[in-house]
Amino acid sequence: MRLVVQTGVLALSVLLVASAPTNAQILEPTYEAFVECRNATTDDETINAIIATSQPGDEIVLSGTCLINGTIRLAGDRTYRGQSRTGTVIRQADGANLDAMVAGDSYVDNVPYTGNPFTMRSITVIANREGNPRAGDALVVRSWQAVLEDLVVLEANRHAIRVTNLSANGTPLTNTQVNGRIIGCHIAASGQRGIYIEDTGNAVTDWQLTDNWIEDSGTDGIALDNAAGWVIRGNHVYGVGGVAILAERLFATSISDNYIEDFVTAGLRVSIQGEAASTITGNRIFRFNGGTGTFLQTRVNYGTGSLAVTGNAIRGNGSGVGLDYQKGPGTGLVVTSTGNAVAGVGTPRQIGAGVTVSQGV
């Protein structure tokens, strides 16, 4: 069934689309609600009302500019789709100062368990930080198997995309929030972090963060409190005020084929758990702006860390440290370091006490 709704007016049309039976089982029909926003501050109420009456498996399609002064609550087991990046825009109204513009139901409802999966794609979210100086994040996820794809997120006052184990009032998850994907999104002009993975426990693991563009973040481009089991691949991060990619608690983590430019503090900084090994492969870390900094930096949280660092290309402007291998508070670090091209830096490689570096087997 397709339900067409214009904000502020009644439903215009209904079209039933029946699902084909499979293996002699009759499937319930799914519904598509088409919401035409009117660039009015009642748009969030209309969208939330449609979501509240939808059922698992439904798709909510947004069109036009949705001007909001209240949080859009995303129920799980649904798809939220725009007509295109430019055809569907969710914009925060001046003075709304929302903690989160768009957020999963588990976050909004302050429950101790993760929300059900949802997909959000092909939408532009404009947080309008100039008009909302006390606002928080643009998009907050607290659901497992969530998919964020082909989104544009601009001008967040705090973080553009925040995946968190905490609810709005700080309630932590008592279960896990795993197996999500953030794919092909463009994020720009965040006051703090472009993408922030917040995990005060050990809940947000085993996600994929691939093929995103993150530019002009106030602090870090990408920051993960817990990178265990994550695949971080093919992202382009540039113009950040702190660390381009900060990945804590590596545990069977893969960081590969990322393109990093023009950071302030570090290009890629990681900390490693002393159990499963992780890989850092094929990244391009360049610095053409001024100042000093570290291009690739490690430390170990506990035990002996194991890391393979291979085939990375580092190029600086004459200063800084290329590869900085340190064990930190851990017992030791064993690094396979081979095939890395390091040029234009003050110190190509720095090895701290308790670190063993080899070319591997």
How confident is the model over 80-108, as pLDDT tens digits?
A: 999 999 999 999 999 999 999 999 999 99
| Residue 210, helix vs strand vs coil | strand
Q: Is 344 helix (H, G, I), strand (E, B) or coil?
A: coil
Q: What's residue 30's pLDDT? A: 63
Beta strands 2-6; 11-15: pairing state: antiparallel
Question: Would you state the pLDDT for residue 355?
Answer: 98
Sign of the dihedral defined by the CA atoms of residues 36, 39, 40, 46, in that order: positive
Give pLDDT, residue 186. Answer: 98
280 forms beta bridges with: 255, 309
Say whether 47 sits in a helix, a strand or coil: helix
Give the model's pLDDT for residue 292. 82
Identify whether the C-beta of residue 136 lies closer than 8 Å to the C-beta of residue 157. yes
Confidence (pLDDT) at 13 = 30
Question: pLDDT for 288-334, tens place per residue?
Answer: 877 789 999 999 999 999 999 999 999 999 999 999 999 999 999 99
The neighbour count for residue 27, using CB atoms within 10 Å, is: 11
Which residues in the chain land under pLDDT 70?
A: 1-30
H helix runs in 80-235, sequence order: 105-109
pLDDT of residue 20: 39
| Contact status, residue 186 vs residue 165, Cβ threshold 8 Å | no
Residues forming a β-bridge with 127: none
Distance of CA 347 to the CA centre of its chain: 32
d(CA 82, CA 201): 34
pLDDT attached to residue 360: 87
Q: What is the pLDDT of residue 5?
A: 52
Q: How many C-beta atoms surround the C-beta of residue 343 within 10 A? A: 10
Task: From 180, 283, 175, select the one nearest 224 (Cα to Cα).
Answer: 180
Tokens of 93: 């109204």
SS3 6: strand
Tokens of 240: 């950040």
* CA atoms of 223 and 260, how far apart (whole Å): 14
